[in-house]
Structure 1
Amino acid sequence: MSAIQTFPLGPLQTNCYLLANQGQALVVDPGGAPDPVLRFASSNNLQIREILNTHLHFDHLYGNQALHLATKAPIRVPEKDVPLLASGLGSGNYMGLPKVDSYEYETISAGDTEFIGLQCRVLHTPGHSPGSLSYYFPDLNAVFVGDVLFAGSIGRTDFFGGDMETLLNAVRSQLFTLPQETIVYPGHGPATTVREEQLTNPYFED
């Protein structure tokens, strides 16, 4: 079993990730009904201990409450994105899509920490949203970036709190300084690497 599993969930097929280590697991961005995640955890004897959100846009939040109720795992959200929860961007009811079930959360900020026995460097990568966080796990050679960086593209910056220059600077200073072989796991679409995006992403040609 790979330490990282991907589950596209919800109306926008948001990438939900499960990370496993020594019988424990954490979930990043449960963007829809978490049944496939729960089935996988059960069949592999994994206890889900943490739920992490990269940012507080509705399509990354739809499964938060259901996953918490099923596992009792705390939901950790970016502190600087909390104001978004008062808007349609965070609560749903946006673009004709469903409302997000309300959930209790704890806030998290940039810094070094540990989840399920794995070291994690939490990086502040704003630009798509004001408080967007990326979660870098050096032992897994992986960073989970939400909608800041995609394979060959970047996240939208036209939502409330978004800013193109802020996003580009965050990617350059926080993500492109990671080891080049680091695998980048985005909120939508395929995984890529730091090196691949440095060399080929058209937004960083300069």
Structure 2
Amino acid sequence: MRKLTVETFVLGPDETNCYLLSAEGKAIVIDVGIDPTRLIDRIDELGLELEAIYLTHFHVDHIGGVKEVLERFTVPVFANDNDEFLKELSLEAMGLRELMEYIDFEYTVIMPGRRKVLGQDMLVLDTPGHTPGSLSYFFPAAGCAFVGDLIFMIAVGRTDLPRGSSSELLASIRSRIFILPDDTRLYSGHGPMTTVVHEKENNPHFII
């Protein structure tokens, strides 16, 4: 089994976590924040073969740098098209319409299920709530999950943005994340890494 290395790049004005996952010279990226120059330089520095970009959801702070990465690397982008509606909404309505020049890239729709990525299993988890199309990516052998803006250390994602749902978000966490092994590391879209057991025991949204 290839050992998975995870590097975090905090990008853009919203300090969005972008993750570079690599194993034996191959790599993927999960989410690409605004101004990914440091990410691109790091991939080049390590001589990695970038294989794909995976997106957790379509908010601009998580996809704003995708086109820049694609200008340097020709790779597929995977995402959930349930967030496509955001492209039709104006910025005033918390959508992306006025930003299409910067974020209009082709992507392949990815469905929940098991995939082989970087030589190991990756489970694509359907975790709506922050957005309808929010996804999480779980690597069982490495004991880590990339959860976007679903859950943070002692906090959860916003649900006051278009088609956000607090009930769906909490249900996603309980049914998709809290069933993972307690020591699973959770890499969120913002802020520090946490673990499943830490959130079960300390997150105020779940403590009775």
Query: TM-score range with shorter-chain normalisation?
Result: over 0.9
Q: Counterparts in 2 of 1:1-206, with a 5 A limit?
A: 3-87=5-89, 88=91, 89-91=94-96, 93=98, 100-206=102-208
Q: CA deviation at 1:2?
A: 7.2
Contact 2:187 2:193 in 1 (8 A): yes
User: Could you give the per-residue CA deviations for residues 98-145 of structure 1, whole angstroms, max 9, x where no partner exists?
Assistant: 973321111112111122222100001111000100000112211000
| 8 Å CA contact 1:120, 1:138 repeated in 2 | yes
Separation in 1, partners of 2:97, 2:42: 27
- For residue 13 of structure 1, report the CA deviation from its aligned partner: 1.1
Between stretches 13-22 and 72-81, larger displacement belongs to 72-81
Count of aligned positions: 203
What letter matches 1:119 in structure 2?
D
C-alpha contact 1:76 1:107 (8 A) present in aligned 2: yes
Moved more, 14-23 or 101-110: 101-110
TM-score scaled by length of structure 1: 0.93
Alpha-carbon distance in 2 for matches of 1:115, 1:69: 23
Rounded Cα–Cα distance in structure 2 between residues aligned with 1:190 and 1:92: 31
Contact 1:78 1:108 in 2 (8 A): yes
**What CA distance in whole angstroms lies between the structure 2 residues aligned with 1:79 and 1:99?**
19
Aligned mates of 2:87, 2:96 — CA distance in 1: 6
Write the distance in 1 (CA, Å) between the matches of 2:111 and 2:84. Answer: 12
Residue range with higher mean Cα deviation, 114-123 or 8-17: 114-123
Gapped regions of structure 1 (runs ≥ 5): none
2:4–2:142 contact (8 Å) kept in structure 1: no
Runs of 4+ in 1 over 6 A off after TM superposition: none
Q: Which amino acid aligns with 2:122?
A: C
Contact 1:68-1:75 within 8 A present in 2 as well: no
TM-fit CA distance, 1:28:
0.6
Question: Matched residue of 2:103: which SS?
Answer: coil
What's the TM-score once normalised by structure 2's chain length?
0.92
Kindly state the Cα deviation for residue 69 of structure 1 after the two structures are TM-superposed.
1.8
Cα-to-partner distance string for 1:64-117 (whole Å, 9 max, x where unaligned): 1111121111111113222222224452758xxx97332111111211112222
Q: How many angstroms apart in 2 are the aligned matches of 1:204 and 1:196?
A: 11
Give the aligned residue type for 1:163. S
Contact 2:21 2:29 in 1 (8 A): yes
Counterpart secondary structure, 2:102: coil
